Structure 1
């Protein structure tokens, strides 16, 4: 056993009766805390590099739980500045707050550790005397790591109930003066929480880093070609004409969450676009606003590209390529067309929250084609943006559905004119602000939506009678080259995923989106959603999303024969009130024009799916399809696994990463996605009543889908059909435990970290641009 001098110090403190490190004791031992200690990092000593030695350990062992808004105690290990910031007992995801909370976004709402101290964050690094002993004994981070070393996980497959893995668990977040009490009360809660401890080598490296005062050498300089492209893009985004300024505002409000990179940069340095008070060539003076369209408080803002400083994690990674072709495309869409911008729109909330008012001067088709070009990114914003977690936010969608898009340019032109006329009926919940009331606004939104649906139905009917009935050419085919034309969305209870292609068999429902609907969802769930908002704002956003889903489904149903539409709607909304059904297809959303498609059977929905598959075949992304598995026998075994249906799947986790070992070949990875059957998805907080276990299905996808695996299974090549039979036979929690005993690499498994390292490496290798570090906050304990 290795005993370092810091361990001896703590040991002797215990013997001397001084182990209760109160603030007074800490002050006596190590001096008073200096909140400015980590405002500026110190450079590492020779032989130690934060980036080369420390950061890889943090990413493999700490970032997997401590990233994004759902990082426990808001402690983010994705950047040195996140560690220096420390912890907060305040929750970001708080569905019950009555008043909006102050935002606490790293690198945005405060810039230094001392500023975060003033906002209530407490240190996890030693801010007292900078001695090796103090840097360890007065560090929450070190104490938490040593606690795990002293008290490793119990030797049991399932960890005891003293471990609370629920997402809404009470968070302890002890300060250093509270750590002794925390340690006595929770001896098994060392870090990593509920997972095996670090290796001796890893712990020694982090201990040495902490002992030296947590030094950080900063980011390496950007390559000269990247700097040149950075300058080119900032110049492009900051033209002086009113037209250029309005276009840049539109681009910013749609790309502010993006991880921008240059397509010629092999190392993929990422940037994000911000609003600054200063123009290109000067240091960025950040406009830190709650929403991207809030009043910046200055006469003119400039759009600047700021280097991404955090580790790339899958659950927030939204990559978006920039390059010469992109710049030419945006110029073609927005700058070359002949139209005038006579004045810039207001930042008043009631205007800025409504894109149909704010950007009415921009051509509708340009806005739509901009969103279509990267439709997966657009939809991904709904999923990986600020609304990226929460059952309430996601129980509004089915567990799996396909998404298609309207194409007809003439239709979009007429649609743009219609949207301009209807703009005032398209107000969104963000127009009420973050401290919105609920009952009054909700009634008003429901009234406006009903009026809008009536107007839209009349518009569609008139257009179909006068111009053309809905037919296959109405569906965008990706212009024969763009794989964004078809997407699959998966819901995993309180999070979701979107991928290109039509993954799995035909789903229960599908959406068809046009510009108006796509834009409304973006401003509802991305630009306009405030994760720090109060419960009323969050409920209004969730209930309004009901309208969006139903409108997307209506657009799909409108392609089916008149005599089958009601039956399809009724199947999708079994048990729902008639008033709800009328929003999908009925007295509110009506369309009495016969389809222009010739159907041959009584199951037009499945026929239409087949037609769409044929129409989009040249552009369909098949990366996740089992048809891409070259080993025919393996493909057949996986197909048998995907064929499991029914109530037995209720015992299976939502999302499982399946590792298939077949030596001497490298391991292959697949994703098992449980699709829970629902009679409808209209109830708030009463989802259990709508469950239909007999309609559960399983999608087996090649590669990785989802950012939050619930379980990791490891099987031999010959065991896949055995796994399928075991899943099909599940009927109790004991059955599942038997299955997990055989196939699961549980969080308590001594070999968990080596398995994790191989899995994470395979994930990044398979998709080096789109993949990030997977998150373990939802790993089961079963």
Structure 2
């Protein structure tokens, strides 16, 4: 009996012990889960709810330097930094300002406060939260806004200013001029604010900054290559960095994981970026590293410059730069006059290698002056036509490539405004301009004289680069949309008014004048000289194309491109004809329309279909492939419908093109399958683009046309049209009958999605989803600051 009692007590003890153990384990598990929940809850809230709202409803305005009051919401760091009332694009400031590039110029929120960035998270009470109340102000006041979004530079720095705005300008609630956030989105923001507006947790931050496992080896290989210690490699890496500092570098294994190439004070394991004003400024330290770091925020289209790195690209760089026979005794300095002139700074690298590097990815390099430090391209794009083709001089025909002696003579003449720095005194600007203009004219004469010696019969068709029969960067088309533009591969749209041919000196100057040397925070003198020098580059590029045409027709085309008495006088003074009588080696079958003939010769005789790309069945009317090319410009299906309204001049009985905004997206829903999206571009013709101001006085609206192309070819849409495939014939018919603003408004009323349309965000979300599916590498969030009323 005692033994049984003992056994019973023993069993009870064991049961109690097991029960306590289980209870203890359960309690520990619950505690661990609760602790973990406390840790990851903010991450879940911000990463999975708040940032998606920012992406889909806020980034359409709040990204890059043109964000209202510099409030950048591409990631939490931008929200924490807050806002600043300084207008980065102040084209009248007499003195440069300190750069305020997010993720670069300061590393902490506290440091941004010393730079007069004020918080928008003013309270955990949503009623006292500046950020939430700006959103709520739009929700309670849905009145339509009459001004364009980008025209508003007003923002509140505190609750007192906000109360004044509510009384005087209640329409300034966010999203400005667009439908308010819905109840669920507002509630998510409200709940987040009440919890203290926490950012992402450690795990989310680590994931966002750490490369994917499959990329570790490649990144290590690239950093090892870029940081090799010999002088030759140091110069190569400096050259690569100055051309790729804006790139969103990606690897095909993870095409939506983007990286920036930076200069770091420390080893790449823990990089500390050097925040120099320009990439060719002195780094300020004796030793630094080139590092690849994850791009920290959401990608927006207007600044997205994808550039692929791969084992093949690394091998290409090594073959191009490292395996050739050249050497260097001393690295170039960073002093003024050298660092801003790549022809002097990198003269040790053979010109042919530098030029081939630019040609390999010409679309990227031409795009940098549009999507670079200016975001919306306002300083650059009003100096170019609405549409033009770009071709390149064959390296084997480029005098600077062929002759080191010529290179030494030409390089000092290729001075650019960057050598004068970010603060150009207004009083000294005319003298500085005369200085660089005189050097440029000396270079033009030298170039023409040398060409006459080595090519007495002129350029031939073979002197146009053919992409080595494989590279589609050999033919590009630039489309301008107001203060922005896009660079496409191939000859897109009908025959352009002007045509560029770029050689190495022109292409390198395009990059250095408008990207490497340009300071968006510089003063009015710096911005003025940069803009004027872009005029010079444009005129030289057009002049180089004209050298392929018969001499008796060159001046005639030039006069058509620069109409107007004052413009003709200006051209005669600052850009007198040089070499206009020299012969051409190209043979033309017709005496007229030699521009068209030359373009067709380049596209169909000089380039194969891999390089040239597909024919443009929607837009080509003047451009016609020769019969020998066995190519038919035949539009079918949707293309056939869009061809009814494309490339038709806005004159006579068909003036419809002139009534359209700069760019619109046409979203066509088929019976089955995914929607197809076409970009509708309004090509506004100019009498000339030779002046910085009064552009509206130099328009030629009767020459306007529409270009349509499937895909996403604009960062700043002005309108979204939405229709079914069945309705497309009716849509194009209605477009063709537009003869007034009232007619166009009728089109918008039937097919357009206005800013105040209750379904606006639904259409915008569908457009963004289609963009990512259509082009997962180039896709980014669109900007709505110029969306039509």
TM-score, scaled relative to structure 2: 0.88
- Determine the structure 2 residue equivalent to 1:452: 443
Q: Please, which of 553, 568, 582 is the counterpart of residue 557 of structure 2?
A: 568
Residue by residue over 1:38-75, the C-alpha shift from the partner in whole angstroms, topping out at 9 and shown as x without a partner, is: xxxx9542793422222222111111111111111101
Q: Is residue 642 of structure 1 aligned with residue 646 of structure 2?
A: yes
Q: CA deviation at 1:446?
A: 1.6
Q: Which runs of 5+ in 1 are unaligned?
A: 1-41, 129-133
Q: CA deviation at 1:229?
A: 1.9
Residues 182 and 275 (structure 1), Cα distance of their counterparts in 2 relative to 1, 3 Å cut:
same
Residues 585 and 530 (structure 1), Cα distance of their counterparts in 2 relative to 1, 3 Å cut:
closer
- Determine the structure 1 residue equivalent to 2:781: 773
Instruction: Name the larger-Rg structure.
Output: 2
Task: State the distance in 2 between where 1:244 and 1:620 align.
Answer: 35
* CA contact 1:558–1:591 (8 Å) conserved in 2: no
Q: Is residue 200 of structure 1 aligned with residue 183 of structure 2?
A: yes
Task: State the distance in 1 between where 2:595 and 2:330 align.
Answer: 47
* CA contact 2:65–2:375 (8 Å) conserved in 1: no
Q: Is residue 269 of structure 1 aligned with residue 252 of structure 2?
A: no
Q: Please, which of 391, 403, 409 is the counterpart of residue 421 of structure 1?
A: 409
Residue by residue over 1:351-403, the C-alpha shift from the partner in whole angstroms, topping out at 9 and shown as x without a partner, is: 10010110000010110111110000000101100234254532211100000
SS at match of 1:594: coil
- Determine the structure 2 residue equivalent to 1:293: 280
Q: CA deviation at 1:598?
A: 4.2
Note the 1:185-264 alignment, pairs <5 A.
Answer: 185-215=168-198, 216-217=200-201, 218-220=205-207, 221-263=210-252
Q: Please, which of 688, 693, 696 is the counterpart of residue 685 of structure 1?
A: 693
Q: CA deviation at 1:440?
A: 1.3
Note the 1:554-703 alignment, pairs <5 A.
Answer: 554-575=543-564, 577-578=567-568, 580-582=570-572, 587-588=577-578, 590=580, 592-614=582-604, 615-618=606-609, 619-622=611-614, 626=618, 632-646=636-650, 647-703=655-711
Residue by residue over 1:406-465, the C-alpha shift from the partner in whole angstroms, topping out at 9 and shown as x without a partner, is: 114253522664233122211111110001131111111221111111111112211212
SS at match of 2:170: coil
Residue by residue over 1:587-623, the C-alpha shift from the partner in whole angstroms, topping out at 9 and shown as x without a partner, is: 3354613324344342211111111121223222349
* CA contact 1:239–1:245 (8 Å) conserved in 2: yes
Q: Please, which of 427, 433, 455 is the counterpart of residue 442 of structure 1?
A: 433
Q: CA deviation at 1:714?
A: 1.6
Task: State the distance in 1 between where 2:193 and 2:618 align.
Answer: 47
Task: State the distance in 1 between where 2:145 and 2:126 align.
Answer: 30
Residues 591 and 121 (structure 1), Cα distance of their counterparts in 2 relative to 1, 3 Å cut:
farther
- Determine the structure 2 residue equivalent to 1:111: 107
* CA contact 2:649–2:702 (8 Å) conserved in 1: yes
Q: CA deviation at 1:679?
A: 1.6
- Determine the structure 2 residue equivalent to 1:64: 60
Residues 387 and 222 (structure 1), Cα distance of their counterparts in 2 relative to 1, 3 Å cut:
closer
Q: Please, which of 129, 141, 149 is the counterpart of residue 139 of structure 1?
A: 129
Q: Is residue 314 of structure 1 aligned with residue 301 of structure 2?
A: yes
SS at match of 2:644: helix
Q: CA deviation at 1:160?
A: 4.6
Task: State the distance in 1 between where 2:288 and 2:249 align.
Answer: 20
Q: Please, which of 461, 464, 470 is the counterpart of residue 455 of structure 2?
A: 464
Task: State the distance in 2 between where 1:747 and 1:636 align.
Answer: 30
Q: Is residue 746 of structure 1 aligned with residue 767 of structure 2?
A: no
Q: How many residues align?
A: 723
Residue by residue over 1:89-122, the C-alpha shift from the partner in whole angstroms, topping out at 9 and shown as x without a partner, is: 1011111111101100001111111111110011
Residues 419 and 47 (structure 1), Cα distance of their counterparts in 2 relative to 1, 3 Å cut:
closer
SS at match of 2:338: helix
SS at match of 1:45: helix
Residues 188 and 574 (structure 1), Cα distance of their counterparts in 2 relative to 1, 3 Å cut:
closer
Task: State the distance in 2 between where 1:537 and 1:750 align.
Answer: 45
- Determine the structure 2 residue equivalent to 1:734: 742
Residues 478 and 594 (structure 1), Cα distance of their counterparts in 2 relative to 1, 3 Å cut:
closer
Q: Please, which of 322, 332, 335 is the counterpart of residue 348 of structure 1?
A: 335
* CA contact 1:503–1:625 (8 Å) conserved in 2: no
Task: State the distance in 1 between where 2:255 and 2:417 align.
Answer: 40
> Greater shift after overlay, 767-776 or 246-255?
767-776
Task: State the distance in 1 between where 2:323 and 2:158 align.
Answer: 58
> Greater shift after overlay, 60-69 or 176-185?
176-185
Q: CA deviation at 1:504?
A: 0.9
Task: State the distance in 1 between where 2:241 and 2:225 align.
Answer: 13
> Greater shift after overlay, 368-377 or 736-745?
736-745
* CA contact 2:660–2:682 (8 Å) conserved in 1: yes
Task: State the distance in 1 between where 2:690 and 2:405 align.
Answer: 31
Residues 78 and 64 (structure 1), Cα distance of their counterparts in 2 relative to 1, 3 Å cut:
same
Q: CA deviation at 1:753?
A: 0.5
The two structures, once aligned, show a CA RMSD in angstroms of 2.3
> Greater shift after overlay, 620-629 or 506-515?
620-629
Residue by residue over 1:20-45, the C-alpha shift from the partner in whole angstroms, topping out at 9 and shown as x without a partner, is: xxxxxxxxxxxxxxxxxxxxxx9542
- Determine the structure 2 residue equivalent to 1:548: 537
Task: State the distance in 1 between where 2:62 and 2:478 align.
Answer: 26
* CA contact 2:615–2:633 (8 Å) conserved in 1: no
* CA contact 1:453–1:589 (8 Å) conserved in 2: no
Q: Which runs of 5+ in 2 are unaligned?
A: 1-37, 620-631
TM-score, scaled relative to structure 1: 0.89
* CA contact 1:488–1:503 (8 Å) conserved in 2: yes
Note the 1:156-171 alignment, pairs <5 A.
Answer: 159-161=144-146, 164-165=147-148, 167-171=150-154
Residues 773 and 570 (structure 1), Cα distance of their counterparts in 2 relative to 1, 3 Å cut:
same
- Determine the structure 2 residue equivalent to 1:499: 488
Residue by residue over 1:552-607, the C-alpha shift from the partner in whole angstroms, topping out at 9 and shown as x without a partner, is: 10111111112222222222222254455458985335461332434434221111
SS at match of 2:74: coil
Residues 304 and 589 (structure 1), Cα distance of their counterparts in 2 relative to 1, 3 Å cut:
farther
SS at match of 1:191: coil
* CA contact 2:149–2:177 (8 Å) conserved in 1: no
* CA contact 1:550–1:583 (8 Å) conserved in 2: no
SS at match of 2:488: strand
* CA contact 1:378–1:522 (8 Å) conserved in 2: yes
- Determine the structure 1 residue equivalent to 2:35: none
- Determine the structure 2 residue equivalent to 1:97: 93
Task: State the distance in 1 between where 2:671 and 2:79 align.
Answer: 41
* CA contact 1:174–1:182 (8 Å) conserved in 2: no
- Determine the structure 2 residue equivalent to 1:3: none
> Greater shift after overlay, 141-150 or 588-597?
588-597
* CA contact 1:276–1:303 (8 Å) conserved in 2: yes
Residue by residue over 1:228-282, the C-alpha shift from the partner in whole angstroms, topping out at 9 and shown as x without a partner, is: 222211111001110000000000000000001123x23531111111122344x
